[in-house]
Amino acid sequence: MKTPLILAIALFALLIAITLLANWHTQRQTAAYLYDNAAQIPAHKAALLLGTSPTLADGRSNLYFTHRIRAAAELYRAGKVRYIIASGDNRKHGYNEPEAMKAALIAQGVPAERIIPDYAGIRTLDSVLRARNIFGQPSYIIVSQKFHNERAVYLARTHGIRAVSYNAADVHLLYAGGFKTRVREYGPHENVSGPAHRQTAQTRRRNHRPARLAFRLPLTQGSLKPWQNLSRSGIHARRFKFLVYLR
């Protein structure tokens, strides 16, 4: 009876050790590309704002969302970026992270024409690859909390994208959802100790293609809405979330 229990404990301890080592490696590899001060970060054409829900399950405001919006708006006001790609989830009817981010950014004084929604940023990996493959940006500033930026920058640079990041204010672990979010990021959700490594290998085998693709369109044509048709392709935009890219 004791042997299976000891083995289970040993395997669990090994898993924890591997996860911690992988996260340490990620932090070490990305430390030079993370910024806390907007004045110090190099200017880029675009920022990639990573999405999250604007509210918690109980209806309260999500501080992760609020802080990311403020950080992205701060970069724009400081002249560090000309465009903000708001990348998030829009798979379910009535749930639209990109439009929520766009509205919040406009409320912070960012012009609507400078905000480009990406409706297919389902995962962090999708967002970082689509910023290059769909929106034509070989380098950009990622905006999220530090623990998320570490993973996003690692994924981006592993795929040859010259990304840096601006750290939004963090959220206390005791805040509703704070501990759960940290566990999800450091655990087997998409971090570099598990699925993110597998995603890196998978996307390399697929020529660095994100899970959801779209045709590139000049920014001068304006940002397409999800329900608009693409006359050049004859394919409805609702299905593939077609968007413009930045020249």
Structure confidence by residue, pLDDT tens digits, 95-122: 999 999 999 999 999 999 999 999 999 9
pLDDT of residue 183: 55
How does DSSP assign the chain, residue by residue?
A: -HHHHHHHHHHHHHHHHHHHHHHHHHHHHHGGGEES-TTTSPP-SEEEEE---SB-TTS-B-HHHHHHHHHHHHHHHTTS-SEEEEE-B--STT--HHHHHHHHHHHTT--GGGEEEETB--SHHHHHHHHHHTT--SEEEEEEEHHHHHHHHHHHHHTT-EEEEEEEPP--TTSTTHHHHHHHHHTTTT-TTTHHHHHHHHHHHTTT--SS------GGG-PPPTT-EETTTTEEHHHHT------
pLDDT of residue 180: 57
**114 CB contacts (<8 Å, ≥6 apart)?**
76, 82, 83, 84
Model confidence at 88, in pLDDT bands (50, 70, 90)?
A: very high
**28: pLDDT strictly greater than 80:** no
Q: Average of pLDDT values for 44-66? A: 94
Locate 24 and state its tokens: 């340490």
Classify residue 163 as exposed, middle or buried by CB count within 10 Å of its CB (0-12, 13-18, 19+). buried
Locate 14 and state its tokens: 């090994």
C-alpha distances (whole Å) from 150 to each of 27, 35, 134, 136, 153 are 6, 11, 22, 22, 5
- What percent of the chain clears pLDDT 90, i.e. is strictly above it? 53
pLDDT of residue 207: 42
Model confidence at 70, in pLDDT bands (50, 70, 90)?
A: very high
Q: Rounded to an integer, what distance in angstroms lies between the CA atom of residue 146 and that of residue 167?
A: 5
pLDDT of residue 4: 81
